[in-house]
Amino acid sequence: MTGPSGPLTADTYTLETGTHLYRLFTNTPGRHAGTFNPGLGAPTRFAFFGDPAVPVLHAGESEIAEISETLLHETPVGGGALLPGDYVNKVMGRLVLQRPLRLASFMGTGFRVMGASAEDITRTPASRYAETVRWAEAAHDAGLEGIAWMSRQCDTEKAYVFFGDRANEDDFEVDPAYGRAFALPNDADWLTRLCSPLRIEVRR
């Protein structure tokens, strides 16, 4: 299956006001955890689509979900290593949702509603992103504000993408009580402890 054959019929998943979301991103001036990507960088599972591109914000429901979907995304399941260039310029923030957001549910029985399977959409390798992004475009065309799915890398945890023309930075408040900067020894140590049971070496 290469994409939906017509208008999307999908279950919905609502994120409620006050929900915590975790966001890992490159530490560059003027960028923070609630900054949407306007269409820069490599394609992802559900971005980019549209002309001009619809901005997106990716996030995870937990620290491990977000780390799995970003830093560990390309690490083999048998183990590997994170080099300093992979993580020292990365920071992680926590967002607090300011209003409910209605998302397409690409998980559970939501696949049956769409007439698809996880293997068609959320469990594909990166080589099939040109196909899976069509499902994101269909969710956008259906009027939804983003997508919720179970992380391929950590399938007990949810990952999210939000569409920047349906949601905006004001919908996500950066939590000042939380933050990790992996250039700092304490946060690099935290990352090392997280990765060690996964057979991933965090090199300094």
* Higher-confidence position of 79 and 65: 65
pLDDT, residue 6, reads 81
Distance CA 145, CA 165 (A): 8
Query: Cβ neighbours of residue 13 under 8 Å, at least 6 residues apart?
Result: 102, 103, 104, 105, 107, 110, 148
Structure-block tokens of residue 15: 């994120």
**128: DSSP letter:** G
pLDDT, residue 200, reads 96
Per residue in 183-204, pLDDT (tens digit) is: 999 999 999 999 999 999 999 9
Q: Is the pTM of this model over 0.85?
A: yes
Distance CA 2, CA 140 (A): 17
Domain boundaries, the chain: 16-102+151-202
- Torsion sign across C-alpha atoms 82, 85, 89, 95: negative
Question: Of 112, 130, 158, 171, nearest to 47 (Cα)?
Answer: 130
Distance CA 106, CA 33 (A): 24
pLDDT, residue 1, reads 61
Assess whether pLDDT exceeds 80 at residue 116. yes
Q: What integer is the mean pLDDT of 26-32?
A: 92
Place of tokens 């890992």: 24
Average pLDDT of the chain?
Answer: 95
What distance lies between CA 126 and its chain's CA centroid? 14
CB-CB contact of 172 with 98 (8 Å): yes
Q: What is the CA angle 61-63-66, rounded to 5?
A: 70
Assess whether pLDDT exceeds 80 at residue 2. no
CB-CB contact of 1 with 124 (8 Å): no
3 state SS for 20-56? EEEEEEECCCCCCCCCCECCCCCCECCECCCCCCCCE
